Amino acid sequence: MVFEELKIRHVSIRPAHILAPMAGITDTVFRRFIKQLGGCGLIMTEFVSSEGMLRHNLKSQRYLYYTEEERPITAQIFGADPDHLAEAARMIEDLGFDLIDLNLGCPAKKVVKCGGSGLLRDLPLLQQIFRKIRAAVTIPFTVKIRSGWSDEEIVAAPVARMAEDCGVEAIAVHPRTRMQGYSGRARWDIIAEVKANVRIPVIGNGDVMTPPDAEALHDQTGCDAVMIGRAAPTNPWIFRQMMEYFRSGTYSEPAEADRYELIRSYYAMLVQENMPGAIGKMKQFASWFTHGVRNGAELRRQVQSAQSAREVLDRVDEFFTNILSFPCPAPTA
């Protein structure tokens, strides 16, 4: 089966479907939610600043909270100081994470100034960082990269070779440049080039929105696993759908009742966990989770105008009670 299993040393990722780290999205509630839906073999934290960790920043501590049901789980860090990153890596190992990942892909200006994809322009410094982190921890060490800074500075293959030489055990490739951000098409040929240049596992990422996309990614690149980012908030079932598709050649689309259960369950988890800013999360996710719902614009309006988490839950219940009471009209000839 395509993407059936990936092993990174002793860590088994089965199926080889990975939830990408996404700022403001992949907190512990969303990660557990994805796990419960099924089909996701590995989840990752939001990226955490090594400098914030060393200052014992409360936000960093919150980002690194996880539960046993989330395993296997990776903590992703960013920074540019080799010694500070090494110390942060030791702290992550002490917290019991299964793996540690270095962010070399974030294109945000405030991150690029102190790490992220900005490090792809300083390979000597990056080599120091790889070696320092590798020497600091015994757990598997992976990295996530972009293809380079710009079309004139494509460095994915040489960075991958250097990472392998320094003891990095897997590499995820998002084949857009920092200058592209999230625009344009992901160049899967760069993933194939990386795969041809290293022996460590290569994880493909970028423009996978459906199970057939994941199959095409595998066929065109030979990558060992698929990482899903922006598709997950709009279609949290995608991991389960990929598993269905690779086993049977087909996959099911969620019905409106499934979407109701999805929204209700996620919102209830936010309330139950007493997550900071729960109502803000509800409003943030409303635009994604209502994708494909009849009259979804009205539901989004109701969620956005609610004043409390309890009011959001009541409005969601009322909306879907009405929607599910009236089946879709038959198409006219």
**223 catalytic, yes or no?**
no
Residue 182 one-letter amino acid: Y
Band the pLDDT of 330: cuts 50, 70, 90: very low
Residue 29 pLDDT: 92
For 267-279, b where at least 16 C-beta lie within 10 A, e where not — what string?
A: bebbbeeebeebb
- pLDDT tens figures, 170-200: 999 999 998 888 888 999 999 999 999 999 9
Residue 205 pLDDT: 97
Given the residues 40, 106, 166, 223, the one annotated as active site: 106
- pLDDT tens figures, 84-113: 999 999 999 999 999 999 999 887 787 877
Residue 127 pLDDT: 98
**pTM value?**
0.92
